[in-house]
Structure 1
Amino acid sequence: MKRKKLADARDRLIERMAEYKAHTGWRVIIIFDAHLVPGIEKKKRHHNVEIVFTREKETADERIEKLVSELKGRRVQIHVATSDLTEQWVIFAHGALRKSARELELEVNKIDDLITAKVKAIQGQRPLSKIPLTDEVAEIFEKWRRGMK
């Protein structure tokens, strides 16, 4: 049961980060800590989000630090979302910016709200009929549809 809940939470995070990536256009890499799980590092792409499961005996923090070091010379600004204060200082020393998990959650929620508003606006603009009707004629048709006279 616990493993299923963890998998569901991981899937939900990936979905939300995919929406975040689609909205911001930024590259998104999610690193999951698998250092206690035997095996090699696994990388995959899901919903256009890069997902990394660390290798055995490697923590997510170690992988993040390695990745920041690899990417920092590429003239890109790197943001790392973590609420671990020690990790924030380490990645900051490597030239990356930090964002707490709470800050990222607020930003993602704001993006969700923007997407919802945009969808509602688009739906509101869509005509109910392919033939332009005056309000009066549309009201008559609506009464007919409901069986009223």
Structure 2
Amino acid sequence: MSEKYLIVDGYNIINSWPELSVLKKEDYSHARDKLVEILSDYQGFVRVNVILVFDGHNVKGNSGSRENMGGVEVVFTREGETADMFIERLIGELVPQYSVLVATSDWAEQRIVFGRGAYRISARELRILIQQTKKMGHDFMNSRQSFSLDSQIADETRLILEKWRREK
């Protein structure tokens, strides 16, 4: 896909964005699903590899999981491994070859990320970036003229086609 990666600290974003924070009060899975949906739409616009990481370290016997959901790689870390630990390890694998941006509002994690050669963006900045990208996409689609075959063919061809249509 792309030479760029966006790694997202899932629970950090859920706890930082008001619309997701409200959803998590009902059910964390709804908030996770909504975040996946938002990131899937975003990566469709900007063509970046998105990896969404959730902590699974407190779940006994959890072996972790990785799944592609709508173009977003969703990772639940294994027992004993925090999202921060996973992200730091992943940066070490990706940074030599790829441009990596990590979304988290955890100040300590931001410093580590930056120190390992990746870029960082806060939850608030990511939200603004996604909103701006979505608006640009909508503006682009609304500005395009609708395509109609009728406007693309010569008058003579249009008359011939109309004559054929009426003969049937």
- TM normalised by structure 2 equals 0.69
Q: How does 1:1-149 map to 2 (within 5 A)?
A: 5-38=27-60, 39-74=62-97, 76-122=98-144, 125-126=145-146
Unpaired stretches in structure 1, ≥5 consecutive residues: 133-149
Between the aligned partners of 1:55 and 1:20, the Cα distance in structure 2 is 27
Unpaired stretches in structure 2, ≥5 consecutive residues: 1-22, 152-168
| Structure 1 counterpart of 2:137, one-letter code | I
Between the aligned partners of 1:112 and 1:6, the Cα distance in structure 2 is 25
SS at match of 2:95: helix
Runs of 4+ in 1 over 2 A off after TM superposition: 1-5, 118-122, 129-132
For residue 119 of structure 1, report the CA deviation from its aligned partner. Answer: 3.0
| Structure 2 counterpart of 1:48, one-letter code | G
Q: How many residues align?
A: 128
For residue 121 of structure 1, report the CA deviation from its aligned partner. Answer: 2.7
Superposed CA RMSD: 2.0
Between the aligned partners of 2:57 and 2:73, the Cα distance in structure 1 is 18
Compare relative contact order (CA 8 Å, sep 6+) and give the higher one, 1 or 2: 2
Percent of pairs with identical residues: 37
Give the structure with the larger strand fraction: 2
For residue 126 of structure 1, report the CA deviation from its aligned partner. Answer: 2.7
SS at match of 2:68: strand
Contact 2:54 2:77 in 1 (8 A): yes
